[in-house]
Copies of this chain bind each other. A is one copy, B any other.
Amino acid sequence: MASQRILIIGGGALGPKVACRLKRLRQDWEVTVVEQQEEIACSVCGIPYYISGDVSEIKGLMTASFQMVRSREFFENAKNVCVQTKTRALALDRKAKRVLVRHLETGDEQRLSYDKLVLATGRRPKSLDVPGCDLPGVISATTLRQAEDIRQRLSQGEVAKAVVVGAGPRGLEMTAAVSDLWGVETTLVEAGSHVLADLLDLPVARMVQQELQSRGVQVCLNESVTKIVSATGDNALEVVTSKQRLPADLVIVALGAEPRTELAVSAGLMVSPGGGVMVNQRLQTSDPDIYAGGGCIENLHLLTGRGTHFFEPSLAHRQGRVIGTNLAGDCAFFPGVIGSFTLKVFDLAVAGAGLTFEAARQEGLTPEAALVVQQDHAHFYPTQELIYLQLVVDRSSRRLLGVQGASANGDALVGRVNTIAALLLHRGTIEDLANLEAAYSPPYATALDIVNTVANTAENVVTGFNQSISVVDFQRLFLEEARDDIICLDVRGAANAAPFVARFKERWLNVPQETLKHRFSEIPRDKRIVLICNAGMRSYEALRQLQTHGFDNAVGLQGGVAALKKAGILIVE
């Protein structure tokens, strides 16, 4: 294949990856990356960890893993890739195969020719369109400059109070970053009904919310910012919401991001109604000489078969390789996304993949959810943490639809989520996961791994053997509405149950599961029964006993007292 000129617009994660992959395949081709910022290929995903102090120097976000700074010179010398920073692409002439660029320092303009073009223009943060959104101190924290500015203000003690707008992944990471090490009094304002609403169903979201609140963060849900004003008191700003006025020295806007597509739109490339550049599985746009990937495209969601807004920076790395291979004349495919994610919220890891129960319902599927609480390591091994994992499956097809969970052991949680993600990609069923051969050894797993247990529980739910309610429904029915036709039947030992019996009196019965078979006569038949145990296992055992003895109005509490406590719903000591 004759040497070609490849032009790449954008120097975030995707552009440099395309360039490096392509150059390794075709050393003699001319590859140029144009980037409007000063830096190239920086790890903007690391910004919260720089702000928190976990990453001590900003340079840490500008280096490759062997500590070389990813500078223009690095790309020239080590990768043989030509990089033009501080250079903005202004217009794309597809007929002439040229891009007009402006060098931002000199103002000089230049036309760059290409044989093949790559759009790697990424995403721009969504702005908070309210009065005062452009005041100093209102910031999106998406560039290294902004990160340095925030950290400097934090380290100089200039920030006593912060407001974070938006409880998506970046909002939560930034909340932890400013409040953990720096002790900033932080309020999180979210217009939706729960944190991480696009990624989690309510039971797991409540665990995240509890982690935030236990660390002193004020979480304001169903509340939107109406304006921001300069203040005259101790704090520089005041955030006015639909419900209150919040003083703040710093306002971090974290409303997500949207594809940057002006160049594509103006050049007449196909862009989806959702606003992303449309590509085929080889990541070609509607112009076969132009490829696109990363934040600026619309991805196919493999579980819904439709376009999705979902984006994760790691997608850009995988897509970059596919584009590089295709540019070189080989053939590679990027089939689509399933929505894997993880993040750290203080000391809690949160992760998931696929669809939430709610998203699956909206897709017209027939979802069921199963939540399991189980140790990461063998119960007799000295180091262990609990994993809280919810599986979403489709009742009719028995297909896996999604997983989400939380744990103090992030490595263990992410491992489980990735394992299930691999099956999601292959249209796996409940049975596939039940039989999945997870590696076992006491220091690293339980003999029946939680991925197997959660599949078994889902199967019991689908077949109707296991009938349960979530901690959120429990909260509403038993605690808030305090309905007198519902009682709890606590099947744990007397010592565990006693404080609950003391608090809820005749609404909370205690019959240890191992004595249940002799004590059916003590269980009321005219009430709805919620079975309670530590994590859900003994409740299920008791449920089966009750069902066999004609109790048709009993359900188990998903995840038991462990889940209630983790979600901050009921903590009785």
Does A265 belong to the interface (CB within 8 Å)?
no
**Contact present for A439 and B321 (CB under 8 Å):** no
What CA separation (Å) do A548 and B352 show in the bound complex?
Answer: 43
For the complex, is A288 an interface residue (Cβ under 8 Å from B)? no
Chain B proximity mask over A441-453: 1 for CB below 8 Å, otherwise 0: 1111111110110
Q: A258 CB to closest chain B CB, in angstroms?
A: 20
Residue A77 at the chain B interface, CB threshold 8 Å: yes
Q: Are A28 and B548 in contact (CB under 8 A)?
A: yes
Interface residues of A in 414-441 (CB under 8 A from B): 414-423, 425-426, 428, 431-432, 434-441
Q: How many interface residues does A have (CB within 8 Å)?
A: 111
A26-53 contacts to B, CB under 8 A, are: 27-28, 43, 45-46, 49
Q: Is the CB of A439 within 8 A of B351?
A: yes
Residues of B within 8 A of A537 (CB): 65-66
The answer to whether B448 touches A436, judged by C-beta atoms less than 8 angstroms apart, is no
Instruction: Determine if A521 is an interface residue (Cβ-Cβ < 8 Å).
Output: no
Partner of A46, one of B335, B378, B431, B534: B378
Contacts of A515 in B (CB 8 A): 77
Residues in chain B near residue A334, CB distance under 8 A = 435
Stretch of A122-130, A201-209, A342-350 at the chain-chain interface: A342-350
Complex: A64 Cα to B382 Cα, angstroms: 15
Q: Given the complex, which residues of B lie within 8 Å of A349, measured CB to CB? A: 443-444
A residues 345-396 near B (Cβ < 8 Å) are 349, 351-353, 374-376, 378-382
State the number of copies, please: 2
Interface mask (A259-283 → B, CB under 8 Å = 1, otherwise 0): 0000000000000000000000000
A411 interface contact, C-beta 8 A: yes
A527: interface (CB < 8 Å): no
Q: Does A569 contact B (CB under 8 A)?
A: no
* Residue from B342, B381, B415, B545 in contact with A55 in the complex, judged by beta carbons closer than 8 Å: B381
Among B338, B382, B409, B414, contact of A445 (Cβ-Cβ < 8 Å): B414
B66 pairs with A410, CB closer than 8 A: no
Kindly identify which residue among B421, B538, B544 contacts A66, using a CB–CB cutoff of 8 Å: B538
Flag the segment in A112-120, A141-149, A226-234, A308-316 that touches B: A308-316
Q: Roughly how many angstroms separate A374 CA and B65 CA in the complex, as a whole number?
A: 9
Distance in angstroms from A61 CB to nearest chain B CB is 6
- Distance in Å: Cβ of A446 to nearest Cβ of chain B: 8
Given A55-B380, A376-B411, CB of A439 within 8 Å of CB of B421: yes
Q: Is the CB of B321 within 8 A of A456?
A: yes
Cβ-based interface call for A92 (8 A): no
* Interface pairs A-B: 10 shortest CB-CB: A415-B415, A422-B422, A314-B440, A411-B411, A27-B548, A65-B379, A342-B439, A60-B380, A78-B514, A77-B514
